[in-house]
Structure 1
């Protein structure tokens, strides 16, 4: 039985764990403020908040409920737009939308309200940029966004007067209703035995699987991996980082040590989907999904990562991620194995990392081509380098020949131009909805050059490469 708190109501349901949270909320509970839009996690109309009780305190994140299995709500607090309502007045987020004329047809408004309420509940710094990030997964087709951005700033200005942690100040100032204060003790009292599944379908975040197969999953009691603690955690020791397969891009985003080692980490991750998706999609799922354009797969390939695979009998084997992929949607994972973690060496004082991506929209879109590089340089010589690229082959591509060619070469424009010749032989893009093969080859070249102009501006500028364009 799935047990959780939905707004102010305790839920015990025998509905299949594979049903989407959106369908349960709308059709079983008749909470229709949570809208059906794209059913792909793109529009944000179905945004809800998920509250987890950790170390005695609540942590809330926004997710898109249309691609989240109901079973992942087990033991949590789920908040829809109805659950943010106050009895006799608008909430701060609702009033901000009204006061700034930030709604027209109104279809997208509940999602924006929920996302801004989640921002108020979050531990992030209460500044304008973070507020805009919070609504990055919400699309509006009417307002032109400026009025919504003003509404977000309205929320920020009020939050900047906050002087205490916890729910009391937020309740007193009209951000959330009073019942939130009792949620921690109610969750503690909730019986949350491990869900038992009758099917062998194993799902973690499910953000891509539910786009493709929601109709096939909705009647199943699936095996959910999200709360498997063996697959969680970010551990850094002796210059090596080990990330559990269940961790998310948001957990990387919020990790202070990784943000120190990767100074541009947040700007890189901002190109990966939206905050709602980053809050729920797992790295293990991204890797095993085996998409040729998976952003985080390309990220980890350039770090020359290893992956640990584990069986139900806890037998482990470790393989290089670049050897994991064997063909389109085909990879080295046996039926009884799960991906346990991803391991890589951190950049050092002499090494540099960069991630680039081109898509039809800058944010919240699938890449036409994406690429990453991890390069070590000593005395103007490339001592080690790993280059990866997506959208240019049937698999997420580790550019073995390009990386081998660059190693030991001088850091010069001539070297990079020669490496591009190797790169073009390393890739084999096809024409599809994201561009022709020629266009992708052009992108591959330009993004490859971009790595060097971004990482080594003292050595390179665009003029070094334009004349060869």
Structure 2
């Protein structure tokens, strides 16, 4: 099979996109992923589909036909990746508008077409789909995708039954703990051995549940899992908008929240996100566990309050209250699919115009993802007005230590964070 292309080897270009089908809550769900960053163990118990797997023997499928009719391919190197992302969209229920099909290709890059012809093809595909109780049967019955897809659910169910007879608990081996690997396999690809502990494909580690006023998550929860969670979308209504600023669909399908924490990047988007929510993490070492606030996890640049054989076994945070406000802001050279120059998140609990509780975090302005303790404490008990915001910014400046680098000078980053704090309160006034 030669259709899947090797491009950037960093998960950015999408030329190597494949589909990964797995049973989620008894339903077969396909997600696009970049195969260049996917360890083989993450394919365990799943249906892996390359470009060859969506072909008909004697005709083009609905995606390929739309690409051809709209002149959506030139050199053709990126085409298999686009076809796979759009095929994945076909195999799941379509969104109400064409925005969903355009979002499905946000992880695919083309250097030839200028994208408009590809977008026209995507919209043409969207118009042929309809919401169905069984979207896979719909596209198979209408000969949009090969009929064999209708048998995959039963095959995976049988495979799952066989696996249930085996030990199905997470066992620690030597080596590194690996979540989605979306950064690890970029930064340390050549160093990664075979004897590692993989969390991504362990269903017992992938959960999001509500326990009274607390949300608890497992270490294998991905960004896409958060986007699809009823709990997250109920209590953080703008989560889709916030998370769209983070990476691309294939990477969000692979990247875990716990992995983002442990990566310890000073500009890790979800580290900043959950710092503002005052999240806690549980670290496990064999049979021993300990829980600590996420804000106490970072000791210095890439230095963690964690033993080498500890891993994050759980994440928890108090669910936002009815009188609360949460906002996430990010500035990068590109709006999407880019690393932040500076990012920030703000959580407030309000009584009329008085701040009863505050949590503010910022990235890109220090050696670690920063929970701004002094600024958060300063805001509490205060009435919101322009003077308070200016005073809070003054306090913030005493807590940060940005450096000049490729993403901007320290003066520029300081100015950005000042503006992001103002943006938080502007959005508060808009709600």
**Deviation for aligned residue 1:456:** 1.7
Aligned residues of 2:50 and 2:84 also touching (Cα < 8 A): yes
Give the deviation of 1:108 after TM superposition: 0.8
Listed as ranges, the gaps of 5+ residues in structure 1 are: 1-30, 459-469
For these two proteins, the number of residue pairs brought into alignment is 425
Whether the 8 Å CA contact 2:279–2:315 is kept in 1: the answer is yes
Which residue number in structure 2 is paired with residue 317 of structure 1?
290
Contact residue 33 and residue 80 of structure 1 kept, 8 A:
yes
Correspondence for 2:370 among 363, 388, 397:
397
Q: 2:399 aligns with which of 426, 441, 456?
A: 426
CA pair 412-166 structure 1, distance change in 2 beyond 3 A = closer
Shift of residue 244 of structure 1? 1.3
In structure 2, distance between residues paired with 1:254 and 1:115: 18
Change (3 A) 1:163 1:316: closer
Shift of 1:410: 1.4
1:223 aligns with 2:187: no
Residue 144 of structure 2 is aligned to residue 175 of structure 1: yes
**Aligned-partner Cα distance in 2 for 1:91–1:121:** 12
> Deviation at 1:66?
0.7
Taking the aligned partners of 1:123 and 1:166, their CA distance within structure 2 comes to 6
Query: What RMSD, in angstroms, separates the aligned Cα atoms of the two structures?
Result: 1.8
The match for 2:244 is: 270
Distance in 2 (alpha carbons) for counterparts of 1:71 and 1:196: 14
TM-score (norm 1): 0.87
SS at match of 1:433: coil
Deviation of the 1:163 alpha carbon: 4.7
Structure 1 residue matching 2:180: 3-state secondary structure? coil
Q: Is 1:110–2:83 an aligned residue pair?
A: no
Aligned residue for 2:311?
A: 338
Task: Report the Cα offset of residue 197 of structure 1.
Answer: 8.5
Whether 1:200 and 2:175 are equivalent positions in the alignment is yes
User: In 1, distance between residues paired with 2:195 and 2:332?
Assistant: 36
- Report the Cα distance in structure 1 between the residues aligned to 2:408 and 2:29, rounded to whole angstroms: 41
- 1:434 and 1:48 map into 2 onto residues whose CA distance is 32
| Contact 1:126 1:159 (C-alpha < 8 Å) held by counterparts | no
- 2:55 is matched with 85
Deviations 1:84-115 (A, max 9, x none): 10111100011111111111111111101000
Q: Among 252, 255, 267, which residue is 1:281 paired with?
A: 255
Closer/same/farther in 2, CA of residues 33 and 126 from structure 1, 3 Å limit: farther
| Alpha-carbon offset, residue 214 of structure 1 | 1.2
Shift of 1:421: 0.9
Choose the corresponding residue for 2:321, options 332, 341, 348. Answer: 348
Partner of 2:21: 51
